[in-house]
Amino acid sequence: MYVKKLSIIMLVVSSAISTETQSNDNVEHIVITSTREAKATLELSESVGVVTEQMLADIAPAHPSEALNRVAGVYINNLGGEGHMTAIRQPLSTSGVYLFLEDGIPTRPTGFFNHNGLYEINVPQSSRLEVIKGPASALYGSDAIGGVINSITKQPTTDLLLGLNAEVGSDGWHRGLVSWSNSVSDNASARVDYNYTKSDGFRDESSYDRHSVNGRFDADLGESWQMVLTASHSNIDQSGSSSLEFDDYINQTEKNLYHGDIGYREVSASRISAELSYQVSSRSLLSFTPFYRQNDSKMMPSWMITYDPNIAETDFQSFGLMSKYRYRSDSGNVEFIAGIDIDSTPASYKEQQITVEQQGDIYTDYSVTEQYNYNYDATQQTISPYVHGEYQITPQLRVNAGVRFDRFEVDYTNNLSDATFDYAHLRPQSQTITYDNTSPKLGVIYQFNDNHNMYVSYRYAFRAPTVGNLFRPGSSQGSTELEPVQSKSAEIGFRGQIAGQLDYEVAIYDMNTEDDIVSVIEGDSRVTTNAGETQHKGIELGLDTMLGKQLQLGLSYTYTDQTYKDFSYVYFSTDCFCTQALNFAGNQIAKAPEHIGNARIAYYPNWLTGLRAELEYSYLGSYYTDQTNTQMDDGFSLVNLRFNYDINDQFQAYFRVINLTDELYSSYTSNQVGDPDLSYRPGQPRRFFLGFRYSL
């Protein structure tokens, strides 16, 4: 099946290239994330998706998934509020195989991945979102296996700008966005964006509340020096949402087993950075970006309420510096980038036991005990030099290569007794753990003509074990012996424009991952371990075209084939009340849908200037819910409708309906290995939103 689809796509692309040798319109989409320098996509040897500022305005996303799921190869689910899991060339999971950036700086340090990480970014007020699909460790280090999502902040304006955006919607949805920008001197300008969002949620007691503020200050300091100062802060208060068994999922979708503060999550996240750049000459640039992060998270892990209820607090601060030197020849044929990233993050983790109260199957309240499961400090240090080079061999052929070395060290101090008779909460002894990793990449780009090119690339990526993997092992023995996850990817891609109006991009990849970090039931104990090898193959297709002057069509399609190549362990079966040895080699990876699609058609009527109407279709294919491949979720199809109307140059009204057909679907279906009973996370029902924008 994979080979057949590949052959068809290769034939179509080669035919398009061969039949069009000239065009007057060049394809020039500029991105920053791929090389840390502004680059046209035609100069890149990897698949990159962009959600532009105009797209964000048209979509007005209530959740990051509403914007990012338009990018081929990307699927993000909605777990309530702005909670989510991500699937980019990987199965849908909470695994730390993605890197979230803001202006090129990781929002969290290595070892502190949060699968909900996009809720710490003010997505609706971003300038744009850039997505690197596949490994990117050669520039960004750990976690960049499945992909990188980079939110770019908006530049300040030199003239006064005042923007107001008010929005109301179903289930008590309220959102207010405020923006101000202006010059503050002849050589400097500033911008402030504020986001207030509140929702009662469509399920019982599933409220969400956020306050976010972003600030940016751009200044020309004279004598070839420039500065970009950015700051952001978010407070997030999110209620817990439970999964449901089948009968409740079908008949009482709004039911939530977590009431009050059960399963709550509170986050305070702050970041500040100052990019100082010096133009050494017309060919070379030096930049230094010191940064600071502060993050406090307090939560009651919802997945542990039934068997190990607790309140967990994670606090960390980061002090870092990103330094870079860039040389580009006058002809542009040679480019060289060298840099070093340094990050020091002192952190603490406390986990306190609680007792929970139930009324029937509803968890209603809790009491805090005096017992701490964990109380430790962990200081993480990374130092990461890297180089990236490009050379234009001929007018048609360009090569690039890069390598990064990461030294990761974490100094762990256990503040409780090492000796414990609580075998559900084993505590490693105080120690220091070090990982070294070298990440290479190589790419070749061939330009057929002004509007079509192809690329091939080899990329390597890794993921260091998180601080939680290492030092919060639960009942797992030997957690401090975990090794980094390793991933290697080969890719070929085509991109271009046909007849001056059809933009296309095709990416075909084959990724092999070894030493995945997984939690499994081994005998009668849960063990966190490095497990075997997996293969991830896929085809990603993106199309965008104008159909005449009034219709615009967009299409994103993803086909994936994700399998276990070597994955086995021993578990306790409730069917026979005995231990069984399982080997899943050849099985499909759990929660890895084979097909993902998104299609949208926008109508710009010539009889009403300023109106944009859009119909969107989103599809997620079926997937196995565990490694045994015995249970399956059927997937779902959703239809969304949007209207945007520019009343005048300053005032706009918009209206949208999400899940127009009121489809009943599960945003995440799962089960314990071999268990016939599935649990379902109800997806959003039909929801209505109305908003107004005013700009001065």
pLDDT tens per residue across span 222-255: 889 999 999 999 999 999 999 999 999 999 999 9
H or E segment to which residue 653 belongs? strand 651-658
* DSSP-derived secondary structure for 8-40: HHHHHHHHHHHH----S-----EESTTTTS-EE
Q: How far apart are CA 313 and CA 295, in angstroms?
A: 11
pLDDT in tens, 181-206: 999 999 999 999 999 999 999 999 99
307 or 672: which leads in pLDDT: 307
Give Cβ neighbours of residue 579 (< 8 Å, ≥ 6 apart).
523, 524, 570, 571, 572, 573
Does residue 218 contact residue 228 with C-beta atoms inside 8 Å? yes
pLDDT number for residue 25:
42
Q: Is it the case that residue 511 has pLDDT exceeding 70?
A: yes
Domains belonging to the chain, first-starting first, are: 34-695 (2.40.170.20)
> What sign does the CA torsion over 512, 381, 406, 115 have?
positive
Share of the chain above pLDDT 90, in %: 83
pLDDT at 101: 97
pTM of the model: 0.94
What is the pLDDT, as a whole number, of residue 26? 43
Residue 100 CA to its chain's centroid (Å)? 6
Pick the range with the lowest mean pLDDT from 337-341, 527-531, 541-545, 662-666.
527-531
Provide the mean pLDDT of the chain: 92
Residue 428 has pLDDT above 70, yes or no: yes
Return the sign of the alpha-carbon dihedral for residues 148, 504, 597, 642: positive
pLDDT in tens, 284-307: 999 999 999 999 999 999 989 999
Neighbour count for residue 95 (Cβ, 10 Å): 21
pLDDT value of residue 28: 58
- In the prediction, which pLDDT does 164 show? 98
Do 273 and 291 touch, CB atoms closer than 8 A? yes
pLDDT digits 0-9 by tens, 552-589:
999 999 999 999 998 876 665 656 666 666 788 899 99
Residue 21: its pLDDT value, please? 42
Q: What is the percent of the chain with per-residue pLDDT over 70, rounded to a whole number?
A: 93
Find, among 664, 668, 687, the residue nearest to 679 by Cα.
Answer: 668
Residue 446: pLDDT over 50: yes
Q: Quick check: 649 pLDDT over 50?
A: yes
